[in-house]
C-alpha cells in the first residue's frame, strides 16, 4: 500500500478510441462540445482523433476539422494518432495538434501480421523510420506503446519473453541513438491482463528499462480493468490512459452484435484514486457531466458506473 | 500475493437481488429456467427469492411457487430471504427451501431508521428474537450480515467504530448463547468501499472475531467492485456473494431513470480468480450462458463483461 503514488495522471482516450469504435458518425459539433467539456475537467492530455485512412476509418475522417473547431484550454495537450507518413504530415501541418513523438511495438506476431502484413520484428524495424522523422522535425520520442502486452485474441498467450524482446529493442534504440528513455505504455489491447500479470510485467519494464516512466493503457474487456488499475497503483504507477464513460468498446465481442467493454473508465478510476487518498487534479463532477454528455450523444447507456450513481464525496456529511 | 486463497466460493444472488431490483415482473417459467441453468454451473448456493410483503415487493410475491417449480440439483443449496416471522414461517414450511440461520445488523442509524423505523442498536436487540426462533427450529446461526459496512448514501460515512460495534455485538451474543462464531458477511450495500477500506475492515473483523470466516457482499455501484474483490483476495478472503451478469442494480442512481450498477459480477470475478490461479469449481462457459439467458429475459444489455467478450481460456492456443 505504501507504494501508492501521491498523484496520478489520466490521459483521456475517449474522443479518439471511443468514437472510432462506433459504427455511426456523430455530428462534428457534438464531438467538439464533448472535447470542450473534457477540457474543463482538469485533464492535461486528450487524444482528439486519428489521421488515418478515411476509407478504413470514416469516423475519423474529419479529425482535422475537429482540431480546428475546438476552443482549446492552454492547460491541455490535444494529441492525435497517425500510422503513416501522410497522417503524420497532416498532424504536423495543423498547428492545433500537439504532436507527441510515439512509436508502436507489437508483442503478437499474429496481430501484427493482421494489422500490418509483417511480423512484429519486421514492424519494429519499420518503426526506426519514425525516429528519423521525429528527429527531422525536432520532436522527442516521448512514448513507446507496447501493444497486446498481456495477450492477444488472435495469437493467444503473449509470453513475457515477447514483452522483454520489445523492451530490449527500446533499450537498443535509445542507446544507439542516444535518446532519453521514453515512457513505456503497456497496452492491454484485448483485455487479457490480470492483476498479478500486471505486476509481473511492470517489474519486467523496471528490470530492463530502470529509468522509464510506465503508463498503463488498460481495457475492461473481461471486467478486470479496475482490479488491474488498483494492482498498478500498488506498484506505484502514476499514469493511465482511459476513457470517460468507459468509451472504446472494440468489436472483439465473441458473439454478433455484442459490444465488448472499452477502456477503463476515467471518472470511475479517478474516483477510486481520490477515495484511496491519491490526488488526480481532476474535477469528478465535471468528468461525470462530460460522461453523461457523451452518453446523450451516443444514445445508449454507457459502461461508466459513477456517471449513473454519483460520487461518494457528494454524499459525505 | 501469497495470501491468496487456493479456492474461492461464490454464492449467487442474482435470482433474488437481480429480479427484486427490476420494475417488471418476469414470467415464472423464465426465472425457473434461469435458476436451473445456474444450478449446472458449479455454484453451491443460490438465493432464489424473498418471503417478504408482496405489496412492498411484488417481484418476489411468487417465491414459494418458484421454489416449487425448480428442478433442484442436490449439490446446490437454494436459499431465501425473510425479514419477519411470517416470511420465516413460510420459508420453513416449504421443504424446497434450504433454511440458513442469518441475521442482519446495521451500521448506519439513518438507513436502519428508514428501513425499520428504529436505531441500529434497537434493531440489534430485535435480532435476538431470530436467535430464539432459530434455536427453536434447530437451525444454527450461520451468517451475520453487516449492512452498509463501508458507508451509506443516507447517513454518509460509516466510521469503523460502527462496524466494530456490530462485531462486538456478535461476539457478545456468541458468548452469552454459546454459539459457534458465524460467518461475517461485510455488505457494501451502496458501493462505498474502496480497496484500502476493504483491507482495514477485514482486519477489524479478524481482530474482534478471530475465528470468523469472512464473506464479502460487494456492489459495483461506482466501479470499484472488481478492485475490491482483488483487494479481498489479497487478504485471503474465500467467499463472495455476487450476481451473474452483474444483476441487482439498485434504484440508488443519482438521477432519474439511471440504473446504478449492481452486485459484482459472478462470472467476471470467477474469471479473474481463474486467471490468478485460484480455483472456483465453476464452469465459466456455463456461467456465461446463464448470464446471456438472463440478459435475454430482462431484455436490455446487462453489466457483465465476459458475457459480451468471452473468456480468455477459450482463446488460448
- Which residues of chain B have a CB within 8 Å of the CB of A199? 1
* Confidence band, pLDDT 50/70/90 cuts, at residue B259: low
* Confidence band, pLDDT 50/70/90 cuts, at residue B195: very high
Say if the Cβ atoms of B309 and A151 lie within 8 Å.
no
Query: What is the model's pLDDT at position A251?
Result: 46
* Confidence band, pLDDT 50/70/90 cuts, at residue B257: very low
Query: What is the model's pLDDT at position B252?
Result: 41
CA of B261 vs chain A CAs: smallest distance (Å): 6
Q: B1: helix, coil or strand?
A: coil
Residue B68 pLDDT exceeds 70: yes
Query: What is the model's pLDDT at position A76?
Result: 98
Say if the Cβ atoms of A305 and B271 lie within 8 Å.
no
Query: What is the model's pLDDT at position A254?
Result: 44
Residues B188-207, mean pLDDT to the nearest whole number? 97
The closest alpha carbon to B105, from B192, B173, B29, belongs to: B173
- Which residues of chain A have a CB within 8 Å of the CB of B265? 223
Query: What is the model's pLDDT at position A174?
Result: 96
Residue A179 pLDDT exceeds 60: yes
CA of B80 vs chain A CAs: smallest distance (Å): 28
- Percent of chain A at pLDDT exceeding 90: 88
pLDDT by residue (tens digit) across A89-139? 999 999 999 999 999 999 999 999 998 899 998 998 889 999 999 999 999
Minimum-distance CB partner of A309 among B194, B252, B304: B252
Between chain A and chain B, the number of residue pairs with CB atoms below 8 A apart is 156
pLDDT by residue (tens digit) across B139-167? 999 999 999 999 999 999 999 999 999 99
Q: Tell me, yes or no, if A152 is annotated catalytic.
A: no
- Burial code (b: 16+ CB inside 10 Å, e: under 16) for A147-183 equals bbbbbbbbbeebebebbbbbbebbeebbeeeebebbb
Say if the Cβ atoms of B156 and A259 lie within 8 Å.
no
Alpha helices in chain B (DSSP H): 19-20, 28-38, 63-69, 85-93, 109-116, 120-136, 160-176, 195-208, 225-234, 266-275, 284-298, 306-309
* Confidence band, pLDDT 50/70/90 cuts, at residue A261: confident
Chain A residue with CA closest to B310: the answer is: A254
Chain B residue with CA closest to A317: the answer is: B156
Residue A259 pLDDT exceeds 80: no
Q: Could you say which of A152, A250, A265, A273 is catalytic?
A: A250
* Confidence band, pLDDT 50/70/90 cuts, at residue A256: very low
Say if the Cβ atoms of B306 and A222 lie within 8 Å.
yes
Say if the Cβ atoms of B261 and A225 lie within 8 Å.
no
Query: What is the model's pLDDT at position B271?
Result: 98
Domains of chain A are: 101-138+141-242 (3.20.20.70)
* Confidence band, pLDDT 50/70/90 cuts, at residue A252: very low
pLDDT mean across residues, chain A: 94
Minimum-distance CB partner of B153 among A156, A255, A315: A315
d(CA A70, CA A121): 39
Say if the Cβ atoms of B309 and A271 lie within 8 Å.
no
ipTM surpasses cut 0.90: yes
Residue B308 pLDDT exceeds 80: yes
Chain B residue with CA closest to A316: the answer is: B156
* Confidence band, pLDDT 50/70/90 cuts, at residue B250: low
Say if the Cβ atoms of A261 and B312 lie within 8 Å.
no
Chain B residue with CA closest to A305: the answer is: B222
Find which of A251-255, B181-185, B245-249 is predicted with most confidence, using mean pLDDT.
B181-185
Residue B251 pLDDT exceeds 50: no
pLDDT by residue (tens digit) across B78-136? 999 999 999 999 999 999 999 999 999 999 999 999 988 999 989 988 899 999 999 99
Q: Could you say which of B112, B152, B174, B250 is catalytic?
A: B250
Amino acid at each position: 500500500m505504501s507504494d501508492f503514488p501521491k498523484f496520478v495522471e489520466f490521459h483521456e482516450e475517449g474522443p479518439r478510441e471511443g468514437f472510432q469504435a462506433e459504427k455511426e458518425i456523430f455530428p462534428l459539433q457534438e464531438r467538439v462540445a464533448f472535447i470542450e467539456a473534457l477540457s474543463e475537467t482538469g485533464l492535461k492530455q486528450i487524444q482528439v482523433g486519428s489521421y488515418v485512412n478515411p476509407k478504413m476509418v470514416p469516423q475519423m475522417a474529419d479529425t482535422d476539422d475537429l482540431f480546428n473547431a475546438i476552443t482549446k484550454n492552454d492547460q491541455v495537450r490535444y494529441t492525435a494518432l497517425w500510422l503513416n507518413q501522410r497522417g503524420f504530415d497532416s498532424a504536423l501541418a495543423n498547428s492545433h495538434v500537439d504532436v507527441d513523438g510515439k512509436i508502436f511495438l507489437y508483442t503478437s506476431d499474429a496481430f501484427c501480421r493482421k494489422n500490418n502484413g509483417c511480423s512484429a520484428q519486421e514492424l519494429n524495424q519499420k518503426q526506426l523510420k519514425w525516429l528519423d522523422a521525429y528527429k527531422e522535425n525536432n520532436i522527442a520520442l516521448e512514448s513507446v506503446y507496447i501493444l497486446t502486452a498481456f495477450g492477444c485474441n488472435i495469437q493467444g498467450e503473449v509470453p513475457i519473453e515477447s514483452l522483454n524482446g520489445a523492451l530490449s529493442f527500446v533499450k537498443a534504440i535509445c542507446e544507439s541513438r542516444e535518446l532519453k528513455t521514453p515512457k513505456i505504455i503497456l497496452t492491454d489491447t484485448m483485455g487479457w491482463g490480470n492483476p498479478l500479470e500486471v505486476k509481473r510485467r511492470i517489474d519486467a519494464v523496471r528490470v530492463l528499462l530502470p529509468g522509464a516512466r510506465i503508463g498503463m493503457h488498460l481495457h475492461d474487456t473481461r471486467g478486470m480493468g479496475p482490479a488491474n488499475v488498483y494492482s498498478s497503483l500498488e506498484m506505484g504507477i502514476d499514469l493511465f490512459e482511459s476513457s470517460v464513460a468507459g468509451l472504446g468498446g472494440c468489436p472483439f465481442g465473441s458473439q454478433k452484435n455484442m459490444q465488448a467493454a472499452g477502456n477503463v473508465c476515467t471518472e470511475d478510476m479517478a474516483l477510486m484514486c481520490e477515495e484511496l487518498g491519491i490526488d488526480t487534479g481532476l474535477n469528478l463532477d465535471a468528468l461525470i457531466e462530460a460522461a453523461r454528455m457523451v452518453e446523450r450523444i451516443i444514445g445508449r447507456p454507457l459502461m461508466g458506473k459513477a456517471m449513473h450513481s454519483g460520487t461518494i464525496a457528494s454524499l459525505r456529511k
